[in-house]
Structure 1
C-alpha cells in the first residue's frame, strides 16, 4: 500500500513478501496469490490499492514471460482486486519450502549465467507489471549478496560477480529507456556472504561497482556519458537493507543507513524483519534456543563478548555445539514475526528479538525517509515454534503489517 510520510516528502510502498506461501510452479504460485492476497488486503487496505511483494521462482518465471495470455490473466487478477506489484524477491532461485534449502539458497550465485538470465527475466516481468501504474511507483528486485562466502575464493570471483551485476544494470537502463520505469537491483547483505556487513558492502560498491573503471566500461556498454553512466549505476544498483541481517551483524541501524547514503548507495528496499537475540549465552538460553534449529533454512549466528570480540557460525546447530561463554551476546538469523517480542514473555531472561533495531529503522524512515519500498519478510512460519504464531497465517500477516504501520506513524486497528 502507498503510505504518506511527512508533508512534502515522497511516500513509500509497503507490502509483505509472498515467499511466505509455498509454491515453485506458476499454477501453485498463482493459486497461493489468489487465495491469500485478497484476504490480507481485506484486513489492512480495504479502501486503497495494496502492494504485492512477489516471489517468482526460476521454474515459474517462463509461464509469465513467454505466455501473453497467462500474463494478461495475472494482470487482470491484480487489477480486479486492487493489487499492484512493485517489488520482486529474486533471492531464492529454486525451491524455498518443504525441503532442505540451507546454503543452496545462494545458488546459482552471480558468477553463473543462470543468475543473470533469471534476474534479467524478473526485470522484464516487473516492467510489464508496472505498466499502467502511476509513474511515481518504481520497481525493485532483491538478490543474493554476490554469493556465499565459502564459495568465493579469489579476487577473480569478486570481479566476475561485479561484471555480471553491471551487465544486469545495463538491462535495467535499456528497460528504463523503452518503458520509462525505474527498476533497481537491491543487493541484500547477509551474514556469511560476500557482502555481509555495511562496511563490506560499501567497500564492494566502491571498489567494483562504482569504481572509475566500472563507470567507464558501463558508459561504453550503454552509450552514456561518464556523468550519466555513474548516475545510471547509482540509480539501478542499490541494496536491500534487511533489518534482521544488519542486527545479526551488530551493525547499528541508524549508522548503517547513514553509511550507505553517505557512500551514495541507494537503499532500494527495507526488509522489515527481526531475528533472535540472546543478551547472555547462558546454558539455559542456549537450551531454549535449540527449539529454533531446523533442517530447512540456514540460521547464521554472530556472537560478541564484552571485550568486543566476535565469532561467526554458518548455522545455529554449529553455534550450539561449540564451546561458549556466558558473557557473549548472540544474534541469530532466524526471521521471527516482527511482533514476537510480545509473545516471548516466557523466555525473558534467556532470549528476545532484534525488533528494537527494526523499530529504530522505521522511526528513521518516518522522520527522514531513506527508501521507497518497505517489505515485511517473515518466511519462517512453517518452522517457527507454534507459540510464536497464531492459528491463521492471514491474521498473522495482517498483524505484522499493523505493527509496521504503527511504527511508521500510521496506526491501524488490529485485525480481528
Structure 2
C-alpha cells in the first residue's frame, strides 16, 4: 500500500489532524479513484502521548480513518513537534536518541500504531531520526543511544507477542547527522540491533544528496544482514553547473528560512564537499562540480531549468529492491510544498495526488 506522509500538514492536535485529513487526504483519495488511501501519519509527541494513554481514543482514530477510506501502516516519528514553526532548521533533530523524551515518543508511537494497523498489512513501520545532528556526539552518546535501542527492541518484541503483525523501527540517515549516509547507518546498526525489529528507512532524497550509488547502497544494506523497512519516496534538487549566473539565481529561490537544506558538491576526484545549508553553499562552495540539495521537490513536477530533480535515484532504488524480492513500505514525503518558490506551488490536494499517481506507476513498474 502506497502512502503519503502527513507531515506536510501543520496540525498538532487530534481534531486538527482530522480536519487536515478531511481537507486534503479525502480529496486526494477521490482524485485517484481509490477506495482506500494509505497515509503515513505524523503525530507530534503530545498527540502520540495522549493516544498512547487512551485506548478509546486510539479506537476512535481508527474508526475515523476507516470512515474516510484511509489506512495507516507507517508513522513518521522523526519530527518531535513544531515541524511547521516559522524556523525549524536544527531543532528537527531534537530531542536526540540520548534523551529519554525521544525514547518515550517512539514507544508511544509503537502503542498507537499497533491499534491502527489494518489486518491485511504484513507489518507496521516507524521511521526515526539518525541519532542526532553530528555535533555534539561522543562515545558516551553512542552508548546511551544503544541502550535506548535495546529498550525499543524489547518493547517491539513484546508488541509482537500481543499482536499478529510486527512493528519495525526504521532509522533514516540524513546529511549532516551522526548517521550522515546509509553507509554510516549500516556500520552503526550492523551487529548492534536485531534486524527483525530495527532496519533502515531509505529516504531517496537523502540518498541522492550523498551521491551514493543507489543499487550498490541497497546491496550493502542486505549484505550487512539488515533490511530496508521503509522507502521515503522523495527527490532532491540537482544542478549540473552550479557556478553559472542562471543556476545561482535559480538556487537562491529555494533558500528559504524554515528548513535546513544541506548541499553536497561532487568533485572530479569523486570527493564530496559539504555545506550545512543552501545560503552557506552559495557563499562557500567552489561550484566547479554538480550540486545536490536537500530540498524535497515534487516527484511529478520537475523544477524549472537549469535545475532538475533526482527521481532517477528513486527509480533505481526501487528496481534494486525489487531485484531482491523486497517490497518495503513506500511513503511519498514531500513536506516542502508550502516553502517551494511561489510559481512552483500547486493546490496541495492536486499536488499530492499527482505525486502519488506518479509513484504508483513507478512502484507498479
Q: Which TM-score applies when normalising by structure 1?
A: 0.84
Corresponding residue to 1:267 among 214, 228, 234: 228
Aligned Cα root-mean-square deviation (Å):
1.6
How far, CA to CA, are the matches of 1:18 and 1:39 in structure 2?
Answer: 14
How far, CA to CA, are the matches of 1:255 and 1:75 in structure 2?
Answer: 39
How far, CA to CA, are the matches of 2:207 and 2:89 in structure 1?
Answer: 19
Secondary structure at the residue paired with 1:24? coil
2:122 aligned partner: 137
How far, CA to CA, are the matches of 2:285 and 2:203 in structure 1?
Answer: 29
2:167 aligned partner: 183
Task: Give the Å deviation of 1:24.
Answer: 1.6
Aligned 8 A contact 1:65 1:125 in 2: yes
Q: Please show how residues 313-332 of structure 1 align to structure 2 within 5 Å.
A: 313-325=275-287, 327-332=288-293
How many residues align structurally? 364
2:339 aligned partner: 383
The answer to whether structure 1 residue 401 and structure 2 residue 364 are counterparts is no
Aligned 8 A contact 1:26 1:63 in 2: no
How far, CA to CA, are the matches of 1:23 and 1:59 in structure 2?
Answer: 12
1:65 aligned partner: 52
The answer to whether structure 1 residue 51 and structure 2 residue 35 are counterparts is no
1:238 aligned partner: 199
2:249 aligned partner: 287
Aligned 8 A contact 2:190 2:225 in 1: no
The answer to whether structure 1 residue 150 and structure 2 residue 106 are counterparts is no
Deviations 1:251-287 (A, max 9, x none): 1111111110111111000000001111122132122
How far, CA to CA, are the matches of 2:322 and 2:190 in structure 1?
Answer: 28
CA 1:365–1:49: 2 relative to 1, 3 Å: farther
1:308 aligned partner: 270
Corresponding residue to 2:91 among 74, 89, 104: 104
Secondary structure at the residue paired with 2:160? helix
2:156 aligned partner: 172
Aligned 8 A contact 1:270 1:371 in 2: no
Corresponding residue to 1:31 among 19, 23, 36: 19
Comparing 116-125 with 51-60, greater Cα deviation is found at 51-60
Comparing 37-46 with 396-405, greater Cα deviation is found at 37-46
Aligned 8 A contact 1:18 1:53 in 2: yes
Secondary structure at the residue paired with 2:73? strand
Secondary structure at the residue paired with 1:146? coil
Q: What are structure 1's unaligned runs of at least 5 residues?
A: 1-12, 211-232, 411-416
2:190 aligned partner: 206
Q: Which TM-score applies when normalising by structure 2?
A: 0.95
Deviations 1:99-125 (A, max 9, x none): 111110010010000000000000010
How far, CA to CA, are the matches of 1:252 and 1:45 in structure 2?
Answer: 36
How far, CA to CA, are the matches of 1:19 and 1:239 in structure 2?
Answer: 19
